[in-house]
A and B are shown apart, each in its own frame.
Chain A
C-alpha cells in the first residue's frame, strides 16, 4: 500500500466517527438474512407442538425428522455454494443415484462386509460425484453454457447412465455393516450417525463459506463476476471448483442414501434438485447470487421437513401438503425480499 499521509483528521474526531460507524454485532444478527427464516422455523415447530404435543414433541419424532432430512441437507450444502455464484444445479438427483449405483456395484464386486469395503464404496461414490461436478463446472465456466442447461443435460445423462448400468432395476445388495453402522446406527444410542454426518458437512462447509478466501471468492463471483475477474480472481477455475464440490457432496449423499435404505432408490430422487434449491432459497440465498448463508440453508431444509411431518401428524390430507409447502416457500421468500428491499433504499 502506498503511503498517503496527508493532514490526518484530529484524533478524537476519528474515534467518534469510528464509534458511529460500526453496527453492533447483535444488531447485525437480528437483521441478518437467516434470523427471520430461523424464527419462521421455530414458529412452525411451536404451532405443531401446540396442535399435537404428544405426537409431535417426541424425541423419536424429531430424530426421524432429522434423519429424513439428512441426505437433503448434504445436497443443499453444495447447492448453497452453486446458487451463491448465481448458478444452479439440476443434476443432483441423478448424480446421487449414479454414485449410489456405482458404489453399490463396487462394494458387491469387491465382496465382503468390512470397513475396507465400505471405504471403497465411499471413495467410489465421491469420485463419481466429483467427476460429474467437474463436467458441470467445465461446461459452465469454459464453454459458457448457462448452468440451467448444462445441469439439465447432466441430470439426464447421470440418471440415464445409472439406468443403463442397472437395467432400470434397483441394486439391492449392500454390505450389512454399512447399514448397521452408518445407515441406522446411532451415537450414544441417541443421535443417528446420518444426522451427525450431515450436520458435520453443513458445519464444515458453512465455516469455509463464511470465513475463508474460497468462500469470499464464491460470494464475489456471484455478486459481480466481471469485478472478480478484474480483481485477478480466476473465475473459471473457481466455478469449476464450486460445481465439483457440489458433485462430490451429491456423491456423498448417494452413499448415505444407500446406507439408509440398502437399495439404490433410483425412482425416488426425481425432485431432489427442486427440493434442495427450495431449501437453499427458503434459507435466504438469492438466486441472483452474492447473498446467502449455510445457517439459512439448514433452516431451509428443516422447514419443509417439519411441514411434511407436522401435516401428517395433524391430519392434513396428503394432497394439501404439497400445496401448503409450496405456499410456505413463496411466503418465506417474499418475506426475505421485503426485508432486503427495505435495506437497499437507494
Chain B
C-alpha cells in the first residue's frame, strides 16, 4: 500500500517544484538567491502589478506597457490578478503578494473601501504603492494615482455618440457597478455631456462586469424604449454585452453604440459595424507611468500624486491610424 502511494505523492511534489523553479513570469524572479548581476550603482527592484481581474485585455495591455518600461529601467515586474473583479477574490492575491515584500506594487483596487486594509498593510511593510486605473476612498498611502481622466472620457463618448445619432434622441448607459471609481466617473461624464449636448438621457443600468448581464439589461432597455438611438457602454465586458444585446434584439445599425476600451473583440465589432465608436484609454501608458512613478519613489526622485492619461476616440474611419492604441490579448 505505502509503495503505491509514494509515486503519485512524489509526482505531486515534483510538479510543484518544477512549476516553481520553471516559472519565469515575464521576467519576474523566483525570489530565491537567483539574484541578478547588476552593476554596483543600480539595485534590482522587484515590482508586482496586481490587476483588477485576470484575462481582461485592458490590464494585459497595461502589463505590456509596464513590462516594457520595467525592462528599460532594469526592474523586474510580476503580473498577478484575481479570477473575478471582486474584493473577496482580490484580497488573498494582495496578501500573497504582500508576503514577498516587493519594493513596489502597482494595484488596481476592485473596491474603494474593501481593498483599503490589505493595501494599507502592504504599504506599512515598506512597499511603495501606485494605484492604477481604479483608486481608493483613502489613497494617501499611494505615491501616485494614475488613471485615465474618466470623466473626460465619458464626455468624449457623449460627443461621439451625439455625432453618430445626429445630435438628438434617447441615449442609455450600460455601467458596471457602483463603487468603481473609474466607471462611475465615465457614467457621470457621459450623463453631464449628453445633457449639455441636448440628448435625452434615459438612465443607466449595472451589469456587474458580466457580458451576459450587459446583454440582458440592453435588451430590456430596448424593449422599454423602442425609439432608443444610442448606447454608451462604460467598459470592455459591458460593451461586448451591449453589442450582443443589440444584435439579439435585431436592431443592429439602428442603435448606435459607443464603447469604452478597445479590446480585440470590440475592434472586431467596430469593423463589423456592430459598435460605431470606441473610447480607448491608454492602459500601456498607465502601466509605463506606474512603473516610472514607483521607480522614482524608490530612487528618491520626485513623484506626481495624480496623473491623468488621455483617451482616443476610434471609429472605423480612423482605425488604421490608431492601431497602436488598441488593446492586446498578449504582449
Contact = CB atoms under 8 A, between A and B. Distances in A.
A312 B23 contact: no
Interface string B202-213: 000011111001
Contact of B9 (A52, A269, A271, A335): A335
A265 B89 CA distance: 9
A263 B87 contact: yes
Interface in B76-91: 78-81, 83-89, 91
Contact of A64 (B79, B89, B99): B99
B88 A269 contact: yes
Interface in A293-346: 305, 308-320, 322, 324, 327-328, 331-332, 334-335, 338-339, 342
A308 B114 contact: no
Nearest to A328: B12
Given A55-B99, A68-B92, A309-B92, A318 B86 contact: no
A324 B8 contact: no
A240 B97 CA distance: 43
Question: Which size bracket describes the interface of B in this complex?
Answer: 35 or more
B17 interface: yes
B227 to A, nearest CB: 25
B273 interface: no
A51 B32 contact: yes
Given A270-B84, A338-B8, A312 B96 contact: yes
Contacts of B4: 338, 342
A270 B83 CA distance: 11
Contacts of A167: 206
Contacts of A170: 111, 177-179
Contacts of B114: 261-263, 265
Interface string A42-75: 0110010001101110101100110110000000
Given A257-B88, A261-B114, A56 B99 contact: yes
Interface in A187-231: none
Given A169-B178, A316-B19, A320-B19, A261 B1 contact: no
A106 interface: no
A267 B85 contact: yes
A243 interface: no
B209 to A, nearest CB: 7
A51 B206 contact: no
B170 interface: no
A55 B11 contact: no
Given A168-B177, A316-B20, A331 B111 contact: no
Interface in A66-87: 67-68
Q: Which of B54, B99, B178, B213 is the most central at the interface, judged by chain A CB atoms within 10 Å of its CB?
A: B99
B19 A172 contact: no
A98 interface: no
A125 B88 CA distance: 18
A56 B32 CA distance: 12
B88 A261 contact: yes
Given A263-B114, A331-B8, A55 B1 contact: no
Given A36-B5, A324-B15, A268 B54 contact: no
Contacts of B85: 267
27 contacts: A40-B9, A43-B13, A47-B13, A47-B20, A51-B17, A52-B31, A55-B99, A61-B99, A64-B99, A65-B95, A169-B178, A172-B179, A184-B117, A262-B114, A267-B84, A269-B88, A305-B92, A309-B95, A310-B96, A311-B96, A312-B97, A314-B31, A315-B20, A315-B78, A316-B23, A334-B8, A339-B1
Please list the 9 inter-chain residue pairs (A to B) with the smallest Cβ-Cβ separation, ordered nearest first: A268-B86, A268-B88, A64-B95, A312-B96, A61-B99, A342-B1, A68-B92, A265-B88, A261-B114
Interface of A: 36, 40, 43-44, 47, 51-52, 54-56, 58, 60-61, 64-65, 67-68, 167-170, 172, 184, 257, 261-263, 265-271, 305, 308-320, 322, 324, 327-328, 331-332, 334-335, 338-339, 342
Given A312-B80, A318-B81, A324-B19, 9 more contacts: A43-B13, A168-B208, A172-B179, A266-B208, A267-B208, A311-B96, A312-B93, A317-B25, A342-B4
